[in-house]
Chain A
Amino acid sequence: MSAPEALLPDALLPDALLPDALLKVAALTHLYGRRVGCRDVGFALWPGEVMGVVGESGSGKTTLLHCLSGMLAPSAGTVHYRTRTEGWQDIHRLPEARRRLLMRTDWGIVHQNPRDGLRLGVSAGANIGERLLAGGVRHYGRVRAEAEAWLGEVEIDRARLDDLPSRFSGGMLQRLQIARNLVTRPRLIFMDEPTGGLDVSVQARLLDLLRGLVRDLGLAAVIVTHDLAVVRLLAHRLMVMKEGAVVESGLTDQVLDDPRHPYTQLLVASVLQG
């Protein structure tokens, strides 16, 4: 292979070298007035790949995630997504209705606060089933069976199917939100601190579940988290953010085992050994 091309950031590689990517991000920037949310972020993501994003609070992780997932219009830069039927589309130039449809069917978005990603006024089963119905499934029995199966997958008692989420604990709400997102078998999922606030045993189960979906169904994911242990087990690749910019990126084990940037070294050195 020729070195000069490989040295380019992968978002800049010619299309011919990126035959199967699912997401291409270039020079993505978001400003809040004069304050930088995120700046000049670029990468490409393939099916079956998990990209971790770490950095301290206020480093721009969540802003980046919102720009990537279409929830926030960037000040500059592009997010291209390879759709099932219409090839590459700049998601921020899609008509609102098309983008919404993608978000409900092709993508999953797991919010840091599960209350932002759930409808608290309808049952747990309805929360999971809603995305199936939005995706065109009409058979009520199937929707209910799928909802029940996904409750089991995230280790919520199936007897809680008809309960309102307002009666659930924080950890259960997070698991319900994840089930709601996974039920449509999305191709791409965005997660903001998905395992924060979960018991460690449930966290392990969820990591295993996500790993299985990534491996067997080619699910791609972008995961924002504080937890380097979660990143180590789940993410293939990693971006380290500081003050809105990506200061270091690479394979997760490269960045964590051989960190180069002073901030990454500090981050890795600060982890408590369990």
Chain B
Amino acid sequence: MPAMIEVAGLTKSFTLHGQGGVRIPVFAGLGLSVAAGECLALDGPSGSGKSTLLRSLYANYRPDAGAIRVRHGDGVVDMMTAPPHQILAVRRATIGYVSQFLRVIPRVPALAVVAEPLRVLGVELAVAERRAARLLARLRIPERLWTLAPATFSGGEQQRINLARGFIAGSPILLLDEPTASLDHANRLTVIELICAAKQAGTAVVGIFHDREVRDAVADRVFDMSRARDAA
């Protein structure tokens, strides 16, 4: 299986200028590789840099040094050096990211929020909304909520909207930050099914799973953050 993500020499620190320029190292010289159809679980205590690494893979955080090579279409893009325009293209077509928080325009209905990643790929409205409806039903979001804006939804409902949004485009790479944190047992099982189906389809998954049951069910390998942290 070809590598979908290859990270080498990745170093990240934060410099807080408002607080005397204090520098907080997170990790240094980090390397990993994830193949198509494989799920890598990031492991380590709170503050060990799991979310920072995940956000770096999405080019949301900008590491200080290293390379993040991502298979995008027929080529490879280094998320560390690619111009903004190209990173946007990689995010649209290649990387799905499920964060812990839903950030959306107020007043936009849940169905449209979920359909959006397909719409930006040029999929027509009816097709995108049908697929969004299927995912929302599968994640047990009651149909009466589909036409409402998610701002007033519960934490668990918002998380499921976020998950539906992350899974809808069938991205070749999925980054999952605590995807089951606020979910009940039945929905956790559904998320496990979705992740396993994505892997079957060849998606490379990198995730943070505090839930042991979820992690054991989906992860092929565990990446220990403490090694990279000690180096920093």
Inter-chain contact total with CB atoms closer than 8 Å? 75
Q: Is B2 interfacial (CB-CB < 8 Å)? A: no
Shortest CB distance A6–B (Å): 4
CB of B85 closer than 8 Å to a CB of A: yes
Q: Which of B40-48, B74-82, B171-179, B183-191 contacts A (4 or more CB under 8 A)?
A: B74-82
In the assembly, what is the distance between CA of A237 and CA of B59, in Å?
Answer: 13
**Chain B residue nearest to A13 in the complex (CB):** B83
A10:B108 contact, CB within 8 angstroms: no
Q: How large is the interface on B (under 10, 10 to 19, 20 to 34, 35 or more residues)?
A: 20 to 34
Residue in A closest to B91 when the chains form the complex, CB atoms: A251
**Chain A interface, >50% SS class:** helix
Residue of A nearest to B14 (CB): A258
User: Contact at A208–B88, with CB atoms within 8 Å?
Assistant: no
Q: How far is the CA of A254 from the CA of B84 in the complex (A)?
A: 10
- Asked whether B1 is an interface residue with its Cβ less than 8 Å from the other chain, the reply is no
**At the interface, yes or no: A233 with Cβ under 8 Å from chain B?**
yes
Partner of B83, one of A6, A216, A232, A260: A6
Whole-angstrom distance between the Cβ of A177 and the nearest chain B Cβ: 21
CB of A3 closer than 8 Å to a CB of B: yes
Q: Are B107 and A254 in contact (CB under 8 A)?
A: no
Q: Which of A107-124 contact B (CB under 8 A)?
A: none
Interface window among A25-33, A145-153, A184-192, A261-269: A261-269
Q: Are A6 and B106 in contact (CB under 8 A)?
A: no
Interface set, chain B 34-75, CB cutoff 8 A to A: 55, 59-62, 75
Interface centre among B59, B84, B104, B106 (most CB of A within 10 A): B84
A1–chain B nearest beta-carbon distance, Å: 6
Give A231-274 as 1s and 0s: 1 = Cβ < 8 Å from B's Cβ atoms. Answer: 01100110000000000001101100110111001100100000
Given the known interface contacts A201-B107, A204-B105, A237-B84, the answer about A6 and B61 at a Cβ–Cβ threshold of 8 Å is no
Neighbouring B residues of A3 by C-beta, 8 Å: 78, 81
- Please tell me if the beta carbons of B61 and A258 are within 8 angstroms of each other in the complex: yes
User: Judging by beta carbons under 8 Å apart, are A6 and B62 in contact?
Assistant: no
Assess the A265–B84 pair: CB atoms within 8 A: no
Q: Say whether B32 faces chain A, with CB atoms less than 8 Å apart.
A: no
Q: Is the CB of B60 within 8 A of A253?
A: yes
B231 at the interface (CB under 8 A from A): no
A215 on the interface (CB 8 Å rule)?
yes
Q: B147 in the interface, Cβ–Cβ < 8 Å?
A: no
Query: When the two chains form their complex, are residues B107 and A258 in contact, meaning their CB atoms are under 8 A apart?
Result: no
**Cα(A264)–Cα(B60), bound, Å:** 16
Q: For the complex, is B103 an interface residue (Cβ under 8 Å from A)?
A: yes
Interface residues of B in 74-123 (CB under 8 A from A): 75-78, 81-85, 87-88, 103-108, 119-120
Q: A205-B107, A265-B16 are in contact. Are A6 and B81 (CB under 8 A)?
A: yes
**Residues of B contacting A6 in the complex (Cβ-Cβ under 8 angstroms):** 78, 81-83
Q: How far is the CA of A44 from the CA of B83 in the complex (A)?
A: 10
A-B complex: 4 closest residue pairs judged by Cβ atoms: A262-B17, A204-B106, A6-B81, A204-B107
